Each structure stands twice: as structure tokens, then as C-alpha cells.
Copies of this chain bind each other. A is one copy, B any other.
Amino acid sequence: MYVILIYDVAEKRVGKMLKQCRQYLCWIQNSVFEGELSEVKLRELQHKIENLIDKKEDSVIIFSNKMGYHMSKDILGKERMSTDNFL
């Protein structure tokens, strides 16, 4: 299914989140990922994220579409974040 994931986590967990999400999805920009995942893989990723985040501090939004309909994407402003901040 088609997935868009957006995370908002404390700085100390950004590196781990990024690494984790990159194993499953394509990094679009900053804390936004997109990709195609099976239901099993999505559950696996959700489980890993739940183990990684602090549920009182962090939040992760996962949009998914079982029908696989993709969305068009427009980026206004800076095309892509520099990778300097990433591990």
C-alpha cells in the first residue's frame, strides 16, 4: 500500500528514526517519507517506531492507502534539505 510518514521526535532520536524509516520508505524531505509497503512491512515498521519513540514526547503520523493510489507531490521553497544534519 501507498504510505506517507511524517515524524516529529526529540532531536536525540532523529538519527535513529531516520535510519529506521529509510529502511522501509523513501526520504522526501526533512521528516517526511513516502513509499510502497505491504501491510506486513508497515506493521513491522510501526512496531519498530513504537519501540523507538517516547510516546509522551514524540509523534509519528502515518497516512496509508490500501488501494495504492499515489498522490501528486509539489514542493514549494527549498527543494531538499541538506544532508548535513543526518547520520
Is A11 interfacial (CB 8 A cutoff)? no
A56 to chain B, nearest CB (A): 7
> CA of A9 to CA of B66 in the docked complex: distance in angstroms?
31
Known interface pairs A59-B30, A61-B29; A4-B71 also in contact (CB < 8 Å): yes
Instruction: Give the size of the chain A interface in residues (CB under 8 angstroms).
Output: 41
Partner of A62, one of B8, B9, B66, B76: B76
Report 6 cross-chain contacts, Cβ distance below 8 Å, ordered by A residue: A30-B59, A46-B74, A53-B76, A62-B76, A63-B72, A65-B72
Residues of chain A at the chain B interface (Cβ within 8 Å):
2, 4, 6, 8-9, 28-32, 46, 49-50, 53-67, 69-81
